[in-house]
Structure 1
Amino acid sequence: MHSAAGNITITIYPDDAAHFLDGKFKLARQSVPVTLPVTHACFAFAEPGYYAVALFHDENNSGHFETTMLGLPADGFGFSNNPTLYLGPPDLGKARFEARSGDNPIAIQMKYY
């Protein structure tokens, strides 16, 4: 993160491309205070399988992902697998990961415009 202000909001999505990034279909969401240089969070999955993570840096604690008047992200953001982005969010195939029994650490790099 480029500052310690605000929270990181982390959302877990199921392996369903038709509903990726649709908040109505999220499996879990939590906001955690920013800690620098690394912020940690933990989720428990009901069962092993494929999932995707999307997160954003809510510096002003607005509670939602903000964009500029041009439609560009105003908040920092990231996705599991740290996919390269081209004019929009990645598709599910680029962000999905396999969660197995036990710990499944993933590291996500925050991106800012």
Structure 2
Amino acid sequence: MTPGGWRGAGIGRAAAGLGLIGAPLPLLAAETDCTGPESQVRLLVTVEGVRAAEGLIAVTLYADDPKRFLAKRGALYVGRVPARQGRTRVCIHLPSTGIYGLAVYHDADGDRGFDRNALGLPKEGYGFSNNAPTVFGLPRFGAVRFSVPHSGFETRVTLRYP
């Protein structure tokens, strides 16, 4: 499939080099505000702690498969929307209800890549579903997995900046 399809590239390859490392909100204005291949199931993600209204917020969706989490070509879909300072909302069409995981980053320069310094540490804000901790490295899939029991389910991810 193409990069906009369910198997688009994720932040996995970028996130893998990091080394460190749901609450209700108002419904989005219209279903057309959702990204991804159209379906009957929508997930509403609020990304909090966005430092600036520059660049893009990338939300990478992973299926319930620990082997695919943060793996190259492991993502189901990557949704990108313009960043809004403070809070950015993203709506993603899902293939169905079920168990998923999210990895999010603030692509501040809009280059569609996750920027790292010479040591491989993040230069841009990032976060994971369940606000999984990243103190001792990247989280395992078990820490980020969550259930989407119905369309319109809402969750929050708070970004961490270096």
Q: TM-score, normalised by structure 2?
A: 0.66
Name the aligned partner's letter for residue 120 of structure 2: G
From 67, 74, 79, the equivalent of 2:123 is: 74
Q: Does 1:105 align with 2:147?
A: no
Name the aligned partner's letter for residue 64 of structure 1: G
Q: Count residues with an aligned counterpart.
A: 113
Structure 1 gap ranges (5+): none
Runs of 4+ in 1 over 4 A off after TM superposition: none
**1:3-42 to 2 correspondences below 5 Å:** 3-42=52-91
Give the Cα separation in 1 of the matches to 2:143 and 2:136.
14
1:22-46 deviations in Å (ceiling 9; x for gaps): 2412111111001122100111222
From 99, 108, 119, the equivalent of 1:50 is: 99
- Report deviation, 1:4: 1.2
Question: CA RMSD of the aligned region, Å?
Answer: 1.1
| Greater RCO (Cα-Cα under 8 Å, separation 6 or more) | 2
Q: TM-score, normalised by structure 1?
A: 0.93
Residues 64 and 100 in structure 2, CA contact (< 8 A), matched pair in contact too: yes
Looking at secondary structure, tell me which structure has more strand per residue.
2
Residues 62 and 102 in structure 2, CA contact (< 8 A), matched pair in contact too: yes
